[in-house]
Amino acid sequence: MNFLAGDASAMRQGVTDKMADVIDTSEFRNGLKIEIDNEPFEIVYFQHVKPGKGSAFVRTKIRSLLSGRLQEPTFRSGDKVNKAEVEEREMQFLYEQTGEYHFMDIKDYNQTYLSKTNLGEAVNYLKENLMVHILFYKGEAIGVTVPNSVDLKIIKCDPGMKGDTVNGALKPATLESGYVVSVPLFINEGEIIRVDTRTGEYLTRVSA
């Protein structure tokens, strides 16, 4: 059953009230986690439409919490979907080993891990002891949310040019996470900078 290519009306037959909380289109909101064909999605956009003729409907844009892909299904007003069984827990990044990134819940010390694929762009900003939020779906870790900005140490870049602070020129710098970011020419190796994790861009120097 695949309604994502067009009208979502066929989806209603796949909803099982006993398996999960059920919601209808009147409860849609940005950030809501829903389940379709046993896959969790997040609503990133929705619009209720009441045409002059015909039935009301809801346009949406949803993002898969497993693959990250975007879909744009249309629901009829009153359609019902399952609410995804997801949970977010604050956890601390511990270390990476053979492609597995290990995290610990500081409340009960339980540990879990995610692959680099699950982490997506977040892998660029992880450093030891960083607090993040891990998303679980039916008890299994599926993704991570890092803070909007992270302070990271520069481990490699060309020497800084003293006094060159206003011309806007940039140079590459490798951070302790392995991520390469463009920084102003006056920045030096060994300094700590703040990076915007939403855009991947340099924000400011934290310490020399």
Instruction: Give the end of a domain, one of 100, 119, 145.
Output: 145
Residue 73 shares a structural domain with residue 18: yes
In a domain, 77, yes or no: yes
The predicted pLDDT at position 11 comes to: 46
Three-state SS annotation for 117-153: HHHHHHHHHCCCCCEEEEEEECCEEEEEECCCEEEEE
Q: Of 123, 136, 134, 138, nearest to 175 (Cα)?
A: 123
Segment 23-34, tens digit of pLDDT? 999 999 999 999
The predicted pLDDT at position 20 comes to: 54
State the CATH number of the domain containing residue 47.
2.30.30.30
In a domain, 131, yes or no: yes
Name the H helices within 65-205: 116-119
In a domain, 177, yes or no: yes
What Cα–Cα distance (Å) separates residue 66 from each residue in 34, 59, 92, 108, 141? 12, 22, 21, 26, 10
Residue 100 shares a structural domain with residue 160: no
Residue in this structure with the two tokens 């929705």, named with its chain if needed: 46
In a domain, 1, yes or no: no
Count of the separate structural domains present in the chain = 3
CB 146 within 8 A of CB 130: yes
Average pLDDT of 73-91? 94
Chain-centroid distance of CA 13 in Å reads 30
In a domain, 2, yes or no: no
Query: What's the predicted TM-score (pTM) here?
Result: 0.74
Residue 160 shares a structural domain with residue 188: yes
107, 109, 110, 113: CA torsion to nearest 10: 110
State the CATH number of the domain containing residue 92.
2.40.50.140
Residue 104: is its pLDDT beyond 90? yes
Segment 136-180, tens digit of pLDDT? 998 899 999 999 999 999 999 998 776 655 567 899 999 999 999
Average pLDDT of 48-64? 92
Instruction: Give the end of a domain, one of 67, 83, 99.
Output: 83
Residue 14: is its pLDDT beyond 70? no
Residue 44 shares a structural domain with residue 64: yes
Computed over every residue of the chain, the mean pLDDT equals 88
Residue 45: is its pLDDT beyond 90? yes
Range of the domain at 180: 149-207
